[in-house]
Amino acid sequence: MNTTSPARCPAWRKLKAHAASRRGARPGTPFVAVAPGVRLDYSLQRIDRRALELLAQLAAERGFAEWRAALFAGKAISATEGRAARHMDLRAGASAPAEVKSTLLRMKDLSIKIRSENTFKRMINLGIGGSDLGPRLVADAFGDGGLDVRFVANADPLELERALAGAEPVATLVVVVSKSFSTQETLLNAKAARRLGCRTFYAVTANPAAARQFGVDEILPVWDWVGGRFSVWSAAGFSAMCAIGVDAFEEFLSGANEMDRHFFQEPIEKNVPALLGLLGVWNINFLGAGAHAVLPYAHRLRLLPAWLQQLEMESNGKSVDREGRPVGYATCPVVFGAEGTPAQHSFMQHLHQGTQAVPADFIDFSLNDFLSANARAQAAALASGTGGKSLPPHRRHSGKRPSSTLQFDTLDARNLGRLLALYEHKVFTQGVIWNLDSFDQWGVELGKNLARKILKGGK
C-alpha cells in the first residue's frame, strides 16, 4: 500500500504548475457526473480538463484503487488502531455479515413493538459525537411523529432537563449509545436520567459487561470495526429507526448501499464521491482554500453541516501522515454551513465579498421553485460576480468563487442515505490523497484525558 507523501508524486508538481495558470480564471466549463439519485454539476469550479486529468493521475500515483479495494475488503486500514473500517457492511443488504443481519432484525422487532404498543411516550437518545449527530440528523429529517424521540449530547444538564420536560419518567425509554460504555458525557447523563426517575434503559455498545453492570434492560451490539462517525447505519441509529419507522430506515440503508456500489465500481472520472474529493484537493492544495461551505436548500437537512463537520474534520483534520511525518501541505479545510435561505442572510456575505474565496457545495432537492432558484442564483453569483466600473466599490463582487451543486429529484430517506454515503467516500478519497489515516481521532483524546486529571485534582 502506498504511504509516500503526495508532494513527491509527479502529478502533484504538475498540478502546482498548472494551478498558477488557473488562479485568475473564471468558472464556466461544463462538467457533470451522475450517481444513483444525484447529479453533480461542477461546472462552476475553477477547473479545466487538464487539471482533472492530473488529479486522476495523482489518485493513481497515490494508489487510490488499491486503497479503495482494501477498504471494501475489510482490511485493517486504520494503522494506528489496527482496525478495519467496515461500515459499508452495515448497509450491504443480503450481502451483510450474519451478525449485522441478526442485529438489524432485532432492531426492527424492537422498533415495531415500541411504536405499536405505545408503552413509551418518549425516547431519549443519550450519546455524543457519532452516537448523536447522525441519528439526530436522520430523526430530525424524517421523524414521522409515531414516537417522540429526543437527543441529548451535552454534559450541561439543561439539555437533558429540556428533553425530559413534560415527560413521565416511567413512560420514557432511555437509549444509552456508547461503544465503550465509558464515555464521560453519556454516562453522566445516563446517571442523571436515572436520578430523575427514568426506569427503562437500552444500551448500544461493544462493552455489554459494563452495560449490564449499569443495569440496562436491552443491549444492541456495535463492533470494533464501526467507527463512531460512521455508525448511524448500525444499532447506533436505533433511535433514528424508532423516529422514522422501519421501512424508511431500510430505504436509508439501501440508498447508502447504492452509493457504495457506485463508489467501488465506477472509474474515477465518473465517480461522484471521488470527484468531489478531488475537487476539494484542487481547491485546498492548489488554489489555497482553507474553508469549505455546505448549503443544503432544505429545512429537513438543517443538521447536515454539523454531521459533516465531525465526518470531515475528525477524519482528516490531521498534520502527520500514515508514517508519522509532518505533512508539509494543507489537509482538511474548516467545514461550516447552514440551510440555504437562512445562510443567505448570514455568512454568505463573506462568501460573496470576503477576502478569502470559500468553495461551496449547494445541495438542491427541487423542493420548490423558490428554493431551487435561490440555490442556482447564489452559485451563479459567486462564479460571475459584478465587476462593472459603473457600480460603486461596495456593490462590486469579484466573482471567481468556486462551487459544486448536488441535485436530487426528491428528498426522502433513500436519497439521504445516498448523500451521507457520498460524503463518507469523499472523505476517504481525500485521506488517500493526503496519506492520512481517516479512521482514527487521537486529537479528541487529549483534552478528555486532561479533563479527567483536572477532575481528580479537584477532589
Q: For the chain, report the end-to-end CA distance as a whole number of angstroms.
A: 49
Average pLDDT over residues 333-337: 98
In order of 91, 367, 421, the CA distances from 95 in angstroms are 9, 34, 17
Residue 125 near residue 175 (C-beta atoms within 8 A): yes
| Interacting residues of 373 by C-beta distance below 8 A, sequence separation 6+ | none
- Rounded to two decimals, the pTM is 0.97
| Candidates 3.40.630.30, 3.40.50.10490, 3.40.800.20, 3.40.640.10; CATH matching 97-244 | 3.40.50.10490
Residue-level pLDDT at 198: 98
Q: How far is it, in rounded angstroms, from Cα 247 to Cα 10?
A: 49
Q: Write out the residue limits of the CATH 3.40.50.10490 domain(s) in the chain.
A: 6-82+252-441, 97-244
**Structure confidence at residue 153 (pLDDT):** 98
List active site positions.
Answer: 314, 345, 448
At residue 222, what are phi and psi to the nearest 5 degrees?
Answer: -125, 170
Reported as half-sphere exposure (CB side, CA atoms, 13 A), residue 457 has a value of 6
Under the banding of pLDDT at 50, 70 and 90, the label for residue 158 is: very high
Q: What gap in Å lies between CA 315 and CA 200, rounded to an integer?
A: 34
Give the model confidence (pLDDT) of 162-198 as tens digits.
999 999 999 999 999 999 999 999 999 999 999 999 9
State the pLDDT at residue 24.
66
Task: Look at residue 396 in the predicted model and tell me its pLDDT.
Answer: 87
The whole-number pLDDT of residue 390 equals: 85
Confidence band for 255, pLDDT divided at 50, 70 and 90: very high
Q: C-alpha angle 303/307/309, rounded to 5°?
A: 115
pLDDT at 225 over 90: yes
Q: What is the pLDDT of residue 393?
A: 86
* C-alpha span between 214 and 191 (Å, rounded): 9
Among the listed residues 188, 207, 178, 184, the one whose alpha carbon sits nearest the alpha carbon of residue 453: 184
Instruction: Please state the three-class secondary structure of the chain as a single string.
Output: CCCCCHHHCHHHHHHHHHHHCCCCCCCCCCCEEEECCEEEECCCCCCCHHHHHHHHHHHHHCCHHHHHHHHHCCCCCECCCCECCCHHHHHCHHHCCHHHHHHHHHHHHHHHHHHHHCCCCEEEEECCHHHCHHHHHHHHHHCCCCCEEEEECCCCHHHHHHHHCCCCHHHEEEEEECCCCCCHHHHHHHHHHHHCCCCEEEEEECCHHHHHHHCCCEEEECCCCCCHHHCCCCHHHHHHHHHHCHHHHHHHHHHHHHHHHHHHHCCHHHCHHHHHHHHHHHHHHHCCCCEEEEEECCHHHCCHHHHHHHHHHHHHCCCECCCCCECCCCCCCEEEECCHHHHHCCCHHHHHHCCCCCCEEEEECCCCHHHHHHHHHHHHHHHHCECCCCCCHHHCECCCCCEEEEEECCCCHHHHHHHHHHHHHHHHHHHHHHCCCCCCCHHHHHHHHHHHHHHHHCC
What pLDDT score was predicted for residue 458?
59
Lowest-pLDDT choice from 52-56, 83-87, 267-271, 392-396: 392-396
Average of per-residue pLDDT values in the chain: 95
* Residues above pLDDT 90, as percent of the chain: 90
What mean pLDDT comes out for the span 406-430? Answer: 98
**pLDDT (tens digit, 9 = 90+) per residue, 25-75?**
777 679 999 999 999 999 999 999 999 999 999 999 999 999 999 999 999
pLDDT at 398: 87
Confidence of residue 448 (pLDDT cuts 50, 70, 90): confident
d(CA 261, CA 423): 14
Residue 459 has pLDDT above 60, yes or no: no
Say if residues 149 and 242 touch (Cβ distance below 8 Å).
Answer: yes
**Residues in CB range of 284: below 8 A, 6 or more apart:** 290, 330, 331, 333
pLDDT (tens digit per residue) in 82-97: 999 999 999 999 999 9
Question: From 3.40.50.10490, 3.40.50.10860, 3.30.590.20, 3.30.70.20, which CATH number describes the 6-82+252-441 domain?
Answer: 3.40.50.10490
C-alpha cell read off for 12: 502533484
Q: Which pLDDT value is given to residue 457?
A: 84
